[in-house]
Amino acid sequence: MPLIKVIIPAYNEADSIGHVIRDIPGLVDEVIVVSNNSTDATEENARKAGATVLSETRKGYGYACLKGMEYVAAQPESPEIIVFLDGDYSDYPEELEKIVAPIINEDVDLVIGARVARWREKGAMTFPQIFGNWLATALMKLFFGARFTDLGPFRAIKYRKLLALEMEDKTYGWTVEMQLKALKKKYSYREVPVHYRNRIGISKVSGTVKGAFMAGAKILWWIFKYSFK
């Protein structure tokens, strides 16, 4: 079994983070929770559930992911696979096994958990999220011939391939940046249908007008930036 590490960015997810960590399958070597300025018991609850806890004071999803990668890079043994998922319990962590299966069994570089409508709990994704995903993936198909249908946060990638992407987005554009750069580098990729439920607590992105607007603008910026490169 390859060495697998999970990175979970988390901001005030005290009520959900323990559930997320406990549902992650035992094939994972280490779960890394990056607390992004949490002011509640997120860090304490994550430690109690068995995770390695890091703190990133610069606010932003990308900042938290980069912090987790920095920690992984400093370890004596590099993993073969990195998995990203959210800390709000909207993903089903137990589905991690089928997320990593195409990498392990078929040598695929990148796997995205696609939040398909038939497996999505009512209300789990807002209209701006659904429309934004459709628009972003439609533009990626138009400009790059991509077959993506979702920008889902639950994803797995070969560690050495992740490093080669030289990820840089600090906030809302992390997921689309990864997919665009993977397309540019001609990585093999796969989407795997996953279940998706209503998160615990209020979303910091889709739950606010500002968050939804900023996320949408950043995603479109990355797409148009790469379409002209």
Asked if 11 contacts 36 with a C-beta cutoff of 8 angstroms, the reply is yes
Handedness of CA 136, 80, 32, 167 (dihedral sign): negative
163 burial class (0-12, 13-18, 19+ CB within 10 angstroms)?
Answer: middle
If phi > 0 it is left, if psi is from -120 to 50 it is alpha, else beta; for residue 107 that is: left
Instruction: Give per-residue pLDDT as tens, 106-125.
Output: 999 999 999 999 999 999 99
Instruction: Give per-residue pLDDT as tens, 65-105.
Output: 999 999 999 999 999 999 999 999 999 999 999 999 999 99
What is the pTM (predicted TM-score) of this model? 0.91
The whole-number average pLDDT for the span 136-152 is: 92
Task: Note the pLDDT of residue 202.
Answer: 73
Instruction: Give per-residue pLDDT as tens, 172-190.
Output: 889 999 999 999 999 999 9
Q: What are phi and psi of 18, to 5 degrees?
A: -65, -40
Cβ atoms within 10 Å, residue 23: 15
**210: which residues sit within 8 A by CB, 6+ positions away?**
none
